Amino acid sequence: MKILFVCLGNICRSPLAEGIFKHLSKNEQIKADSCGTGNWHAGNLPDRRMSETAKKHNIKLKSRARQVKSSDFYKFDLIIAMDRENKNHLMNLATSDKYKQKIKLMRDFENIYSNSNSNLDVPDPYYGGPDGFEHVFTLVYKCIKNLISYLEEKN
Ligand code: 4NP
């Protein structure tokens, strides 16, 4: 099982999701990675503000940014976009229905037991203040906890 978290720049939201997943998941069979729909930050470490927010919660972010590539659609089983814009971008890149079905929104996992697609975004914190990073942390942490429960139930 391989999960790919996707945002725009791959320096804030999706590296956080990858870091929280790796921190919380006890299942070594499930691999996590992250990437961006854009390539401006390729090769960079996560944004310092995001890393510092994660560090306050004892989570270290170590990924290097990369852009999504076509092989990701067959390599990964679940592709989780941080917002609707990233999801639409991925849907346009996916070349088959099978690939499109792998694409979900992060906040679809916010209330997994309500059984509805949220259609809500993890907001982009890049141009905002420190509160935005903490808000993103809270949202993503909750979604990842639920995602892990969902994966455990499925197995
Ligand atoms: P991310 O945040 O998509 O959560 O990594 C952003 C990072 C950089 C930019 C936008 C969003 N940017 O425009 O450079």
15 lines ligand 1 (CB under 6 A): no
Q: What b/e readout covers 101-117, taking b as 16+ CB neighbours within 10 angstroms?
A: ebbbbbbbbbeeeeeee
CA of 84 to the centre of ligand 1 (A): 14
CA of 149 to the centre of ligand 1 (A): 28
Question: pLDDT by residue (tens digit) across 5-58?
Answer: 999 999 999 999 999 999 999 999 999 999 999 999 999 999 999 999 999 999
CA distances for 70 relative to 12, 44, 90, 95, 146, angstroms: 22, 21, 10, 9, 28
- The residue annotated as part of the active site, out of 12, 13, 49, 108, is 13
Q: Is 13 a catalytic residue?
A: yes
Question: What is the rounded average pLDDT of the residues 96-106?
Answer: 98
pLDDT tops 70 at residue 116: no
pLDDT for 114 equals 67
Question: What is the rounded average pLDDT of the residues 73-79?
Answer: 98
Question: What is the rounded average pLDDT of the residues 108-135?
Answer: 88
What is the band of 155 on the pLDDT scale with cuts at 50, 70, 90? confident
Mean pLDDT of the chain: 96
Q: Which domains does the chain have, with CATH numbers?
A: 2-154 (3.40.50.2300)
Residue with tokens 């076509």: 70
What is the band of 118 on the pLDDT scale with cuts at 50, 70, 90? confident
